[in-house]
Structure 1
Amino acid sequence: MKKIAFIGAGSMAESIISGIVQANVLENDDIIVTNKSNKERVERLEEKYLITSMQDKADVVRDADVVVLATKPYDLEAAVNSIKEHIKQDQLLVSVIAGISTDYIASLTGQDIPVIRAMPNTSASIGYSATAISAGAFAKEAHIVTAKELFDTIGTTIIVEEEDMHIVTGISGSGPAYIYYLVEAMEKAAIDSGLDQEIAKALITQTVRGAGEMLKQSGDSAEVLREKITSPAGTTQAGIEALKENDFDRIVRSCVESARDRSIELGKKNG
């Protein structure tokens, strides 16, 4: 991969661009970005990451090996229409748009073009994305390898069947927001109990980071790790019981399922 073009300049596109720049896998000026109309936004990205911004769609995609579709779902059709006459079959389309199938994206181009569907998350900006990818009908092994190499620069990449992408969206795509929401609640509880805000933030941040590393490095399941620190009649047990009494498991399940269902809905509404 020598050149990559981003159609769409929102937070996900920026997260991926930031990760690629930090990984130093491409020359900065070989990363090209455009969007529908917000010229100030793409110019800001150009200045911040020393990449290339353009408004002419033909110039954006002409020499790109990979074209990343990073628009809102309802903007996808217009975005593809604006570039499809410039797309060539030896290019790879990568979509990071929630809910939209590879078949639909290929149909919009009017070509039997390789499409990879990806669901990274915003932790891509610091190289810690959990990204799932799936291959469209015209994508070959080499295209999967290219996509995996791309997303490996910004975190961990897992290959899944496309039918699983809706639940992936509900788990890892939206997952960071759930964690942040939990942290918000913990910080508020700590502050309400009299702890200094900065102290609370530092302790909770390191707690979340440490728990993630334990899950990654220990080899134990989340259940086993939880049980190891939950002494009978102890403080952790009291906290866990409060979560159970308030139906924490049901709330989390509902959260994930709602995100999954919204992904399915977006797919039906937009192709």
Structure 2
Amino acid sequence: MDKKIAFIGAGSMAEALISGLVTRKGSRPENIWISNRANDSQLARLQKEYGVTPSRDFSTLLRGADVVLIAVKPKDVLATLTQAKEYLKEDMLLISVAAGISTASLKSIVDIEIPIIRAMPNTSAAVGKSATALSGNEYVKEKDKQLAKSIFGTVGMAVYTDEDKMDAVTGLSGSGPAYIYYLIEAMQLSAEQIGLEPQDAQKLIIQTLMGAAEMVHASDKTPETLRLEVTSPGGTTEAGIRVLEEKGVKEALIECIKTATHRSSKMGEELSEKINQGILSN
């Protein structure tokens, strides 16, 4: 990809994307520029490790940029974009990974007719296995969509959805890794109680989860069908599943995701309100 990509923010998500772009040949290191607010050692480390160019001067950072990727905390988006907006051009693609901030709010900050894509990756981007959802504003063209998809494709898979579905994506896959980690915690605790060595148990748990996920991915059968195929009447699996049903585990997971989705929506509304108030006060 022969495009200049300017990262504003150089935390863990930015690093995952930089690593993906460089190691998977999505971009040449000399085309990637990075910036953060104050962490000099982080910029120096990323420069040494990936060959990217650091700069806190927005004029230099954004000059000739094809993609400007906002990777700061949601609370810092208004201040950051207010400083950077005079250097943004309508032919740039603005991408934000700041959770909860709509493309409309971003557009109101920069105040130009620029294509904006909102991205919701998850922390599995660090190992190239993110599930990322993308949505764009009315200025996004097909070439912008393909460019964004190619960037996030270096850290996993990426799909487009309507922006009004982004809170649901946040509740499902954005927060999803934590639900799986919670399941692993429970499986590890059970392994201890039934007498397995922790190191052996972890290997077994990880391989079981990876194998089950691959089965769902590779098969044209539903998860329910796959489950029933290994649940022999009167067997061990049936006994275990019965306990999960008695404890309401499925219902708890459904409620968990619905609650996370609702919280994402509320946070987005609160952030948008703060951004609008901040714009009016400037």
TM range (shorter): over 0.9
Give TM-score, length-normalised by structure 1: 0.95
4+ residue stretches of structure 1 with deviation over 4 A? none
CA distance in 1, matches of 2:9, 2:263: 21
Contact 2:7 2:14 (C-alpha < 8 Å) held by counterparts: yes
Match of 2:232 in 1: 231
Match of 1:81 in 2: 82
Task: Using the aligned pairs only, state the percent identity.
Answer: 46
Q: Give the secondary-structure state (helix, strand or coil) at the position aligned to 2:119.
A: strand
1:169 to 2:165 alignment: no
Deviation sequence 1:77-126 (CA, Å, 0-9, x none):
01111210111111000111111111110110010110011111122222
CA distance in 2, matches of 1:34, 1:26: 17
Deviation sequence 1:153-211 (CA, Å, 0-9, x none):
22211111110010001111111121112112211211232211111111111111111
Deviation sequence 1:51-83 (CA, Å, 0-9, x none):
222222222222221111111111110111121
Match of 2:98 in 1: 97
1:258 to 2:259 alignment: yes
CA distance in 1, matches of 2:25, 2:77: 29
The residue identity in structure 2 corresponding to 1:77 is: L
CA distance in 2, matches of 1:132, 1:66: 18
Aligned positions, number: 271
CA distance in 2, matches of 1:196, 1:29: 48
> Which aligned pairs between 1:125-144 and structure 2 lie closer than 5 A?
125-144=126-145
The residue identity in structure 2 corresponding to 1:245 is: E
Contact 2:26 2:150 (C-alpha < 8 Å) held by counterparts: no
Q: Give the secondary-structure state (helix, strand or coil) at the position aligned to 2:157.
A: strand
CA distance in 2, matches of 1:51, 1:184: 37
CA distance in 1, matches of 2:258, 2:146: 30
1:185 to 2:186 alignment: yes
TM superposition shift of 1:136: 0.7
Gaps of 5+ in 2: 273-282
TM superposition shift of 1:39: 2.3
Which moved further from structure 2: 35-44 or 88-97? Answer: 35-44
Which moved further from structure 2: 107-116 or 231-240? Answer: 231-240
CA distance in 2, matches of 1:52, 1:220: 48
Q: 1:83 to 1:164 in 2, by over 3 A?
A: same
Q: Give the secondary-structure state (helix, strand or coil) at the position aligned to 1:194.
A: coil
The residue identity in structure 2 corresponding to 1:149 is: S
Match of 2:148 in 1: 147
CA distance in 1, matches of 2:100, 2:168: 10
How large is the RMSD of aligned CA atoms in angstroms? Answer: 1.5
Contact 2:121 2:132 (C-alpha < 8 Å) held by counterparts: yes
Contact 1:92 1:115 (C-alpha < 8 Å) held by counterparts: yes
Match of 1:20 in 2: 21
Deviation sequence 1:10-43 (CA, Å, 0-9, x none):
2222222222222112112322221222222232
Gaps of 5+ in 1: none
